[in-house]
Chains A and B, each alone.
Chain A
Amino acid sequence: MSVHLGSQTTNIAMTAGMPPKRVSRTRRATFFAFVGLGTIVGAWLSFIFLSENGMRLSEWALLAVFIPLYYQLNIGFWTALFGVWLMNRSQPDSLDLWRSLTAEDYEQPISASTAIILPVFNEDVTRVFEGLRSIYLSLEATGQSKNFDFFILSDSDKASQWIEEETAWLELCRQLKAFGRIFYRKRRKQINRKSGNVSDFCRRWGKNYRYMVVLDADSLMSGALLTSMVRIMEKNPGIGIVQTFPKQIAADTLLGRVMQFAQALYGPPFMAGLDYWQCGEANFWGHNAILRLAPFIEHCALPPLPASTPFGGHILSHDFVEAALMRKAGYAVRLLPTTRGSYEEGPPTLVDMLKRDRRWCQGNMQHLWLLFAKGWHPMSRINFLHGILSYVSSLLWFLFLTLATYLAATPTPHHEPQSILAEKILLGLTAMLIFLPKTVILLDEMITGRMFKSLRLRLLTFVSCLCDTVVFTLMAPVLMVFHSRFVIYTVVGKTVSWVTQRRKIDGGVNWLEIIFTFASVTLLGVAWAALGWFVSPGFLPWISPILFSLTVSILIAVIVSGSRSGRRFGIFLTPEEYDPPTVLKTMTENLEEIKGRLQLAPELERHFGLMQVCLDPYVNGLHVSLLRRRRTIDVSRGYLDEIAQRLITQGPQTLNAQELKAMMHDTDTVSNLHFRLWSAADHELAPFWATAIRQYNLAASGPFTHTLAKREVE
């Protein structure tokens, strides 16, 4: 079967992009042979050591916990090694998607229509729209942008946020002359969170587009990569989803910079390794990816899971499931190894990271339902399993340490030479599994200079690698405790709410939050150390690194959440920090310009959007114009009048989020509110409005420029 695509005249097989089964099976057989061998050898050595005096129940339990942990360790180890091998072998990878494009393909104009969607939920409006501006300009610079449309899909439920998004949208369109290219849509009800938001887009406008690029609020992508992704999809009709590797950028805390350094150094080999064995059954990570819309609409709508939350209900980690559904429909899901052009931001502090992990944990645990569902490709099941294991393994590790402590308290002698040899080999093997991938990747960088060509920067990378090992070693036990807790929370039915992820720290380290979060971990560390000392002083040194981390977890959280990150010494330097790509440079410059803006009184800043929609005739006009007219029944008219009166006479702080939202959804109320406020005598106004009326015209140089840089396009 063949198909003509756009202006291309070459006949393309409909299955192009789906790796041949022969290749996929050979690769997986090879990869899992190594993983299986490593796991079985580890389990066998462990069994030999434990069974010297016969196996007790606690020893069987230890072995049972050890096997999945060792399996996971082997997966990481072999993925990294295969990745390094792939990156260094002279023969190019036969499945490399970049190879499907020829020099001629890059000359062809892009005719496929593509929607770039940006679902947002109470995000930093300036960051979202400045990011969007940079992507838009980068795409324009390719000369291939005419068939790309942008959609900001808002689920924001804060009134001020909503208004600021609208004004930023209008101003961005005006500055870029992009009306009809950048669209804004606000959902009235946030059904099914982000996946519901995307589905809503698909239902309304999906038919207009062949492809959809999904971005996160903190995503950044270059025009060159976006156009390449569309070209790859055009050349490979057998592909349903292409997932890029989003590198972390713009971190300003130690944790953020360590994470982005680690991702820059270790990410590419891991990505190459994953691509090696996942082949056409890779995962979708929810953003910085391109999707073929027709099959996505037809096959990837998500049904609710049986039972109630947290295990059932709406699927939280929708991306893995959508990838599995796409594969089930016969389309490949591929990874696109990239080192430039695809970026995202990470959580700035340990607390923020844990909040994010809590959501991800619940989402992954839900996949237990799907693990045994019918019809999946076996690799999709493995992907689900690995997702679950990424959190459950923390609980297993915790259990492993607990059982080890128990066994230390009730020791049995080990005299047999085989047993002692097995223990030594196991220790060496485990150390190798943990440290060899890092060592090999670092050596690769030292020799090839993939990240940095200069010798000085390579040496700094070497030092940074040693430093990041210290940071991750200190953080790992803390993460273990929290992830274990999250798994248990999910099992006992504690659900998680949908909150906005924080991307930047405002006002330094929050000591109170850290102490409140980590005090229990410190107590656990102290209690465990005391218990360890009591039951077996000889065992204590073995787990002392873990207990030390737990005991000083508050200090660790404070240090990694701070802004002292060794930047001025060149530590944890990434290529994006050293030589920022244009798309990042544009955004950073614009964000810097906005930082220098005149600020209003804090109370007015907090309700800036609300103040604008009430006072500014243009913003009020914009908001009413964008609202859909709905029939208002008499009861709600009275209710809306009452809350509008309260807003005028008592100020916005007396209204809750629901009341503000209800008011902002009604065209007549918003329209009248503007005149009622201006008509009220000074003594009738709440102090907030009296100040706002006096200050608004002084601070706002233009009604729509408060959140955006002034960068007019000629």
Chain B
Amino acid sequence: MEAVNIQFAPATGTEEEWNEAYARLADYFRSYQLHNRIRRTQLILETLRHAAAAHAADPSRTPTAHSIEQARRMLRVWLGSIYSDLNLNEAQLEATGRLGFHLAGGPSRWPQFFLDEENMPDDMAEAMRSAIRTSGPGMQVSKMTPRDIDLGMFTDVAEDTFDRLGRQPILRYSILAVIVFGVLGYLYSLFS
């Protein structure tokens, strides 16, 4: 990256507009968690320089809009060189790249190389490429089809249930019935 010229004299736009663009870029780069202030200032000025040229060509848009557009363009170029071997569209490239930079620890480990296409460390590029994450494991599709429940009629079910009850433990239930009726009989005799 060439040395940043701190002289900034845009041909178009007012001082107030460019100050607003500066403030917005400062917030924008800060949202990348770049705590290296010198690098942040470098990036802001470089982006503003590109934005000034763009604004001269198309003054209908605000310097702020041009600045963020230039920052986005620089990001795409930078990420494009890192993920050139992956077949990603623009939205995927931006999303994957930004997330990759964060997960690789970029903001703290390589803040000075953020958006620096020419001096990119190999380990940073490798860390960003290997940081691609998915939220779920590979699918192994199963069929889980509901089976109809035969809601039947009361009589059918009563038959069904009592058949089951009646088959095996006849003796046990007979004993139970004898006990129950025995107690009832005793109670009845008490009160009659």
Chain B residues with CB under 8 Å of A418's CB are 190-192
Chain A residues with CB under 8 Å of B30's CB are 697
Besides A26-B172, A625-B92, 8 more A-B contacts (Cβ < 8 Å) are A207-B142, A301-B147, A370-B149, A618-B99, A625-B96, A675-B72, A679-B65, A681-B20
Minimum CB–CB distance from A416 to chain B (whole Å) comes to 9
Contact call A668/B91, Cβ cutoff below 8 A:
yes
Within 8 A of B (CB), among A155-196: 169-170, 173-174, 179-180, 183-185
Minimum CB–CB distance from A579 to chain B (whole Å) comes to 38
| B39 contacts A by Cβ under 8 Å | no
Interface residue from B69, B146, B154 paired with A679 (Cβ < 8 Å): B69
Instruction: Count A-B pairs with CB separation below 8 Å.
Output: 192
Interface string of A427-459 (1 = CB under 8 A from B): 000000000000000000000000000000000
Contact call B191/A205, Cβ cutoff below 8 A:
no
Q: Given the complex of chains A and B, what is the CA–CA distance between A173 and B102 in angstroms?
A: 13
Chain A residues with CB under 8 Å of B149's CB are 303, 370, 373-375
| A372 contacts B by Cβ under 8 Å | yes
Q: Given the complex of chains A and B, what is the CA–CA distance between A169 and B180 in angstroms?
A: 60
Q: Given the complex of chains A and B, what is the CA–CA distance between A371 and B156 in angstroms?
A: 12
Contact call A374/B142, Cβ cutoff below 8 A:
no
Chain A residues with CB under 8 Å of B187's CB are 41, 44-45
Given A185-B135, A205-B139, A624-B91: A301 touches B65 (CB 8 Å cut-off): no
Q: Given the complex of chains A and B, what is the CA–CA distance between A297 and B146 in angstroms?
A: 9
Chain A residues with a Cβ under 8 A of chain B: 21, 25-26, 29, 32-33, 36-37, 40-41, 44-45, 48, 149, 151, 169-170, 173-174, 179-180, 183-185, 199, 202-208, 297-299, 301-304, 306, 369-375, 378, 381, 418, 421-422, 615-618, 620-626, 629, 667-668, 671, 675, 678-682, 693-694, 696-697, 702-703
Chain A residues with CB under 8 Å of B160's CB are 374-375
| B6 contacts A by Cβ under 8 Å | no
Contact call A303/B148, Cβ cutoff below 8 A:
yes
Contact call A33/B191, Cβ cutoff below 8 A:
no
Given A29-B169, A370-B149: A37 touches B142 (CB 8 Å cut-off): no
Contact call A703/B102, Cβ cutoff below 8 A:
yes
Chain A residues with CB under 8 Å of B191's CB are 48, 418, 421-422
Contact call A302/B146, Cβ cutoff below 8 A:
yes
Minimum CB–CB distance from B52 to chain A (whole Å) comes to 16
Contact call B144/A169, Cβ cutoff below 8 A:
no
Q: Given the complex of chains A and B, what is the CA–CA distance between A372 and B132 in angstroms?
A: 53
| A299, A617, A668, A703: residue with the most chain B Cβ atoms closer than 10 Å | A617
Chain B residues with CB under 8 Å of A681's CB are 20, 62, 64-65
Chain B residues with CB under 8 Å of A302's CB are 146
Chain A residues with CB under 8 Å of B103's CB are 174
Within 8 A of A (CB), among B134-192: 135-137, 139-154, 156-158, 160-161, 164-165, 168-169, 172-173, 176, 179-180, 183-184, 187-188, 190-192
Minimum CB–CB distance from A648 to chain B (whole Å) comes to 12
| B98 contacts A by Cβ under 8 Å | yes
Given A624-B92, A693-B27: A303 touches B146 (CB 8 Å cut-off): yes
Contact call A374/B20, Cβ cutoff below 8 A:
no
Question: For chain A, what secondary structure do more than half of its interface residues adopt (helix, strand, loop), or is it mixed?
Answer: helix
The 14 sampled A-B contact pairs (Cβ below 8 Å) are A29-B173, A41-B183, A149-B137, A199-B144, A303-B147, A372-B154, A374-B157, A418-B192, A624-B95, A629-B92, A675-B72, A679-B68, A681-B64, A697-B31
Q: Given the complex of chains A and B, what is the CA–CA distance between A204 and B141 in angstroms?
A: 5
| B84 contacts A by Cβ under 8 Å | no
Measured CB to CB, the nearest residue on chain A to B152 is A374
Given A180-B137, A680-B64: A25 touches B172 (CB 8 Å cut-off): yes
Q: Given the complex of chains A and B, what is the CA–CA distance between A179 and B135 in angstroms?
A: 9
Given A297-B142, A621-B94, A696-B31: A682 touches B136 (CB 8 Å cut-off): no
Minimum CB–CB distance from A198 to chain B (whole Å) comes to 10
Chain B residues with a Cβ under 8 A of chain A: 20, 24, 27-28, 30-33, 62, 64-65, 68-69, 72, 90-92, 94-99, 101-103, 132-133, 135-137, 139-154, 156-158, 160-161, 164-165, 168-169, 172-173, 176, 179-180, 183-184, 187-188, 190-192
| A149, A203, A381: residue with the most chain B Cβ atoms closer than 10 Å | A203
Chain B residues with CB under 8 Å of A207's CB are 140-142
Interface residue from B135, B147, B156, B183 paired with A184 (Cβ < 8 Å): B135
Q: Given the complex of chains A and B, what is the CA–CA distance between A668 and B92 in angstroms?
A: 9
Measured CB to CB, the nearest residue on chain A to B159 is A374
Chain A residues with CB under 8 Å of B172's CB are 25-26, 29
Contact call B137/A375, Cβ cutoff below 8 A:
no
Given A378-B165, A697-B27: A373 touches B152 (CB 8 Å cut-off): yes
Contact call A621/B147, Cβ cutoff below 8 A:
no
Measured CB to CB, the nearest residue on chain B to A666 is B91
Interface residue from A204, A303, A678 paired with B28 (Cβ < 8 Å): A678
| A371, A381, A678: residue with the most chain B Cβ atoms closer than 10 Å | A678
Minimum CB–CB distance from A608 to chain B (whole Å) comes to 15
Contact call A203/B91, Cβ cutoff below 8 A:
no
| B68, B165, B192: residue with the most chain A Cβ atoms closer than 10 Å | B68
Minimum CB–CB distance from B64 to chain A (whole Å) comes to 5
Chain B residues with CB under 8 Å of A208's CB are 137, 140
Contact call A373/B157, Cβ cutoff below 8 A:
yes
Chain B residues with CB under 8 Å of A40's CB are 180, 183-184
Q: Given the complex of chains A and B, what is the CA–CA distance between A434 and B27 in angstroms?
A: 67
Measured CB to CB, the nearest residue on chain B to A626 is B135
Q: Which 8 A-B pairs have the closest CB atoms?
A: A624-B95, A621-B98, A303-B146, A621-B99, A301-B146, A207-B140, A418-B191, A372-B157
Q: Given the complex of chains A and B, what is the CA–CA distance between A694 and B141 in angstroms?
A: 47
Q: Given the complex of chains A and B, what is the CA–CA distance between A203 and B152 in angstroms?
A: 29
Q: Given the complex of chains A and B, what is the CA–CA distance between A617 and B139 in angstroms?
A: 29
Interface residue from B72, B98, B150, B179 paired with A374 (Cβ < 8 Å): B150
Chain A residues with CB under 8 Å of B180's CB are 33, 36-37, 40
